[in-house]
A and B are shown apart, each in its own frame.
Chain A
Amino acid sequence: MMKYIKFLLVGILFGIVLVKSEAVSWYRIYEMFRFESFHMYGIIGSAVTTGVLILLVSKKMKLKNITGQLLDVPKKEKGLMRYIIGGSIFGLGWALSGACPGPMYILVGTGVFQMLIVILAAILGTYVYGKFKDKLPH
């Protein structure tokens, strides 16, 4: 049980940051896709910049994770179609519901129980992908 506490704490931190940054707000996503504010670009941009630096320094220092292996990000499969088509489908849903797979849970915590409908629909969408994945271009 104790080994899960750290994951709970990381989740709590993530939830707090996304609410306090307003990245969970439908309005902020809409504003982003209209290019009318730097806010969301600043969040994603500074997250990625910090992330690149952290990973470079970790590599340089040969930093190990708690299991004793070198810190490593798994490589994504090579491909084009799945990323461009799948990504676009995701983008359509992201802009419509204003929620990606982190915020949809976080928003339930802010008292928006209506989000449970979005979560159930997302589970269904994932299931349908799994069922037809071999028929789709990847």
Chain B
Amino acid sequence: MDYILQPWPWYVSGPLIAIVMFLLLYFGKTFGMSSNLRTLCAIGGAGKKVPFFNFNWREQKWNLVVVIGTVIGGFIAHFLLSAPTNIDLNPDTVAKLNELGFDNVGKSLLPQELFSWDAVFSVKGLAILIIGGFLVGFGTRYAGGCTSGHAITGLSSLQLPSLIAVIGFFIGGLIMVHLLFPLIF
């Protein structure tokens, strides 16, 4: 039981993610979490104004059920299957974050400086979450997939477009962390 309550090593987690991908293929579907954002636009009626959202979203219901499952899975893992542990980050990472003004680094999954209600109700904090989310939503549809669709499914099926997309993910991520973070924080 102790092994389950502790954080899982990469060599257990990675293959389990591949099994998730396989199960969805076996069920006749494709692993791709970002498609749900498009489906949610369609449910909200965006199809009346923008043709891109004019499709039969009912065929995507299975993927929304996956989303509901992930929320339940997140709850189970966090509240029932976790002993309180700090995230075992590289001390250099922690030092760098302290330098940028982050405290209690790794004591919880997410930094209080970005995700506490205090942060959310500040102009800067709210702007960070909205801009971050917007870029994720815009970029993932532009690139035709996200980490699950390109990095896991696309690379597993040896598709060049997915490799290019993953290189793009890293170009953006490296620019944000190395060039923009010092300006933002």
Please give the residue numbers on chain A whose beta carbons come within 8 Å of chain B beta carbons, in ascending order: 4, 6-34, 36-52, 54-55, 58, 63, 65-67, 69, 71-80, 82-102, 104-112, 114-115, 117-131, 133, 136
Contact = CB atoms under 8 A, between A and B. Distances in A.
A51 to B, nearest CB: 3
A32 B175 CA distance: 13
Contacts of B106: 27
Most chain A CB within a 10 A radius of its CB, from B13, B144, B148: B13
Contacts of A77: 144, 161
Contacts of A110: 74-75, 77-79, 109
Contacts of B87: 22, 25, 27-28
Contacts of A49: 14, 18
A33 B26 CA distance: 33
B15 A7 contact: no
Chain B, interface residues (CB within 8 Å), range: 35 or more
A15 B74 contact: yes
B70 A14 contact: yes
A10 B129 contact: no
B148 to A, nearest CB: 6
**3 closest A-B pairs by CB:** A11-B69, A87-B168, A15-B73
B164 A48 contact: no
A38 B10 contact: yes
Interface string B32-49: 011011101100101001
A101 B172 contact: no
Interface in B126-148: 126, 128-148
